[in-house]
Amino acid sequence: MNDPTRTNIENWLTYAEELGLAPFYRDRAIQEQSNPPAAIAIEAAAEIPGPMPKPKQSSALIAAAPIKPAVTFFPTAAGPTLFEAADRIQGDTLEIIRTDLGECTRCKLHKTRNKIVFGDGSEKADLVFVGEGPGHDEDIQGLPFVGRAGKLLTQMIEAMGLQRKDVYICNVVKCRPPENRMPERDEIAACSPFLIRQIDAIHPKVIVCLGATAAQMLLNTNRSISAFRGEWLEYRGTRLLATYHPAYLLRNPAAKSEVWKDLQKVMSVLGLKPKSAGAAASQR
């Protein structure tokens, strides 16, 4: 690294320190260093200037050392960027976020959507459900989870002793992907900042991810949902649990009992009792 570049970086770091942002720089650097494959990490380390103590290990010790996986798995929240971390926006509300979203054209999904599906429910909810994206019925009505899968989600919520108005329901992307395909990376990247703000504004006690897309986005992983479904994880200081999407349950009713067990964990944390034995039984 040449001197002007180094000086420039030092100035930025000093500036961040003065703003109180340095810890986020460091957290992010740690996370990024822990994630790349070993070969990339080694290459990056070779470029770090200045004196850097090299570990003193004999070849025998190196040979005996356990081989660590190249990618460190969470539980960690998606690493906040410098600005996400800095601006957990004080006083942000769902209304402000919706206004900021506007008639959004930030990604190509706007070309085929009918209505933006922003989210629905209580701004004071203890429980937020995050799905993947709107389907046909949602696109028509502008509301999340109102089709067949939505009816099943409503039943699940009621079985937990709640009503839809008690929780908040939203998706990773707010416009329907054509033919109900999965959202693409650029679409998720364009839309997810609004989801992050929604979660920050609501500040729930528990987030339930419905399906792999929501869980992978919030947890910053590409692991299969089956690797962590039903486990308590953490997203920016909030408990997070991933379970199967209701649409999956429509295709695989046998998985309902697994989801009900997951929801019972959520109920335990939130101090909820099933509304009725009949409602709960319908989930098993």
- Give residues in contact with ligand SF4 (CB under 6 A): 101, 104-107, 109-110, 116, 173-175, 187, 190-191
What is the nearest approach in angstroms of ligand SF4 to the Cβ of residue 171?
9
- Nearer residue to ligand SF4 within complex by CB, 177 or 274: 177
Q: What is the DSSP letter of 83?
A: H
What is the nearest approach in angstroms of ligand SF4 to the Cβ of residue 11?
34
What is the rounded end-to-end Cα distance, in angstroms, of the chain? 61
**Residue in 160, 167, 123, 125 with CA at minimum distance from that of residue 145:** 167
Q: Kindly provide the b/e burial profile for residues 24-50, where b requires at least 16 CB atoms within 10 angstroms of the residue's own CB.
A: beeeeeebeeebeeeeeeeeeeeeeee
Q: Name the phi and psi angles at 66, rounded to 5.
A: -65, 145
Q: How many CA atoms lie within 13 A of 6 on its CB side?
A: 7
What is the nearest approach in angstroms of ligand SF4 to the Cβ of residue 110?
4
- Nearer residue to ligand SF4 within complex by CB, 147 or 183: 183
- Nearer residue to ligand SF4 within complex by CB, 174 or 236: 174
- Nearer residue to ligand SF4 within complex by CB, 198 or 243: 198
What is the nearest approach in angstroms of ligand SF4 to the Cβ of residue 168?
17
What is the nearest approach in angstroms of ligand SF4 to the Cβ of residue 102?
9
- Nearer residue to ligand SF4 within complex by CB, 51 or 102: 102
Q: Name the phi and psi angles at 170, rounded to 5.
A: -150, 180
| Cα 95 from Cα 281, distance rounded (Å) | 37
